[in-house]
Amino acid sequence: MVSIIIDRTAERANEDHDHRHEHAPVRAASSEPVTMPPVSVNGVPISRKDIAAETQNFPAVNPGAAWHAATRALVVRQLLLQEAQRLAVTANPQKDTDGRVETDEDALLRELVEREVHIPEADEEMLRRFYGNNRKRFVTPPLFEADHILITANRQDAAAFAEARDRAVSLAAVLAQEPERFAALARDCSDCPSREVGGSLGQISPGETTPEFEAALAALTPGEISAPVETRYGVHLIRLVRKIEGALLPFEAVKNRIADYLEDHVRRQATAQYIALLIGRAEIRGIALEGAATPLVQ
C-alpha cells in the first residue's frame, strides 16, 4: 500500500514539469527513449538501467513522459530510504492477505511513513458533516422492473438487422393500439428466454444491461412501452413495469465507509506533503522536482 501511495505521489510531485512536456512531439520508442543527465539524490546515483526498468510501471503517451515519471518515482523512493536510514528505522516485513512477504525496502518505507506521517483521526462530527455534504454518494441505486421483447440480429449483417428492425416496428405499432398484449406477443415473438414468462426481466439495477437498453429504460414511466431500441443483441421493445427509487442509507450504515475514505484521503495528502518536505531539503540532480521549504503537516 505504501509503495502505491509513493508511486502516485511521485507522479504528482512535478505536475508542472509534465505540463511543459505535454505537447512535445511523440518520439519513436527505443531501448533508451530520451537523453537525460545523470540522476542522483544527495550524491547517491540512480542508474539509467534502473530507470529504464521502472518505465514499465508508468505507461505514457511518449517515451519521454514515461522516463520522467519513472525517474521521479525512483528519486522519491531513494529519498525515503535515505530518511529511513538517517532515522535508524528498522524493517519489520509483514505478510499481506495472500501470504506474500514485504521486501526489506518496502517494509522500511512503510515503517517510515507510519512513524513520520501523522494522520488525524476523523471524529463523529467530521464524519456526520461529510455524510451531510455528500448525501448523493450514499443513495442506493434505483431498481427497475421491466419486460421486453427481443428480435435478435447481428449488427454486422445489415440485411438481417434491417429485418429485425422492421419486425420490431410492426410489433410496436400493434402495442400502441393494444398494450395489454405485450406478454402474449413476448411469448409468441421474442427471441429471449424471458419469453417463457411474458418477457419479464425481473428487477434490473444500473449497469446490468447495455447502455442503450439502460438509457431507454430510464426514460420510461411505469406502464410505458419504448420505441424500438437497438443494441448489440438486436432490437428490443421495453416495457417499464415499476421503478423503485434509490434510498438514502442511514449514517450508521455508512459510518465506517466514510471513516476509511477520509483516512485514506488524508493519508495520501499527508504523505505527499511529507515527500515534498524531503524534496525541499535534498540535493537532487538530473531532474527538477518541486519541494517544500517548511513542514506542511505536523
Please tell me whether residues 237 and 254 are part of one structural domain. no
Which are the contacts of 225, defined by CB distance < 8 A and separation ≥ 6? 172, 175, 176, 179, 182, 237, 238, 239
Q: pLDDT tens, 59-69?
A: 888 888 899 99
Cell numbers linked to 191: 427471441
Cβ–Cβ < 8 Å for 57, 38: no
The closest alpha carbon to 11, from 65, 66, 72, 52, belongs to 72
Residue 41: per-residue pLDDT = 95
The one-letter amino acid code at 252 reads: E
Please tell me whether residues 239 and 96 are part of one structural domain. no
Split at pLDDT 50, 70, 90, the class of 130 is very high
- Mean pLDDT of the 138-158 span: 95
**Rounded CA separation 238/171 (Å):** 11
Q: Residue 285 domain-assigned?
A: yes
The closest alpha carbon to 112, from 76, 83, 75, 92, belongs to 83
The closest alpha carbon to 147, from 205, 194, 210, 212, belongs to 194
Residue 3 has pLDDT above 90, yes or no: no
Residue 54, domain extent: 38-139+249-297
- Domain stop point among 205, 222, 244: 244
Please tell me whether residues 72 and 103 are part of one structural domain. yes
Please tell me whether residues 159 and 129 are part of one structural domain. no
Residue 293: per-residue pLDDT = 57
Residue 238 has pLDDT above 80, yes or no: yes
Beta strand pairing call for 39-41 and 44-46: antiparallel
- Mean pLDDT of the 240-252 span: 95
Q: pLDDT tens, 24-65?
A: 333 434 444 456 789 999 999 999 999 999 999 988 888 888
- Domain stop point among 244, 273, 288: 244
Split at pLDDT 50, 70, 90, the class of 214 is very high
Q: Residue 205 domain-assigned?
A: yes
Please tell me whether residues 196 and 239 are part of one structural domain. yes
Q: Residue 6 domain-assigned?
A: no
Please tell me whether residues 62 and 182 are part of one structural domain. no
Q: Residue 126 domain-assigned?
A: yes
pLDDT averaged over the chain?
87
**CATH code where residue 108 lies:** 1.10.4030.10
Please tell me whether residues 186 and 154 are part of one structural domain. yes
**Rounded CA separation 207/143 (Å):** 11
Cell numbers linked to 130: 461529510
Q: What domain count does the chain have?
A: 2
- Cell numbers 526498468 correspond to 53
Between 293 and 118, the more confident residue is 118
Please report, for residues 48, 93, 105, 117, 270, the alpha-carbon distance to residue 2 in angstroms, rounded to integers and kept in the order given.
Answer: 24, 13, 11, 12, 12
The closest alpha carbon to 68, from 28, 13, 109, belongs to 13
Q: Residue 45 domain-assigned?
A: yes
Residue 76 has pLDDT above 60, yes or no: yes
Q: Would you list the DSSP string of 187-231?
A: HHH--SGGGGGTTEEEEE-TTSS-HHHHHHHHT--TT-BPPPEEE
- Mean pLDDT of the 210-230 span: 96
Q: Residue 29 domain-assigned?
A: no
Provide the H-helix boundaries in the chain: 2-12, 15-21, 48-54, 63-86, 104-116, 124-133, 158-177, 182-189, 211-218, 251-281
Q: pLDDT tens, 170-201?
A: 999 999 999 999 999 999 999 999 999 999 99
Please tell me whether residues 261 and 282 are part of one structural domain. yes
Cβ–Cβ < 8 Å for 112, 105: no
Please tell me whether residues 111 and 196 are part of one structural domain. no
Residue 295: per-residue pLDDT = 52
- Domain stop point among 225, 244, 263: 244
Residue 128 has pLDDT above 90, yes or no: yes
Q: Residue 208 domain-assigned?
A: yes
Residue 149: per-residue pLDDT = 98
**CATH code where residue 240 lies:** 3.10.50.40
Q: Is 110 exposed, middle or buried (0-12, 13-18, 19+ CB in 10 A)?
A: buried
Residue 117 has pLDDT above 60, yes or no: yes
Please tell me whether residues 235 and 260 are part of one structural domain. no
Please tell me whether residues 149 and 281 are part of one structural domain. no
Please tell me whether residues 180 and 95 are part of one structural domain. no
Region for 82 from its dihedrals, namely left if φ exceeds 0, alpha if ψ lies in -120 to 50, beta otherwise: alpha
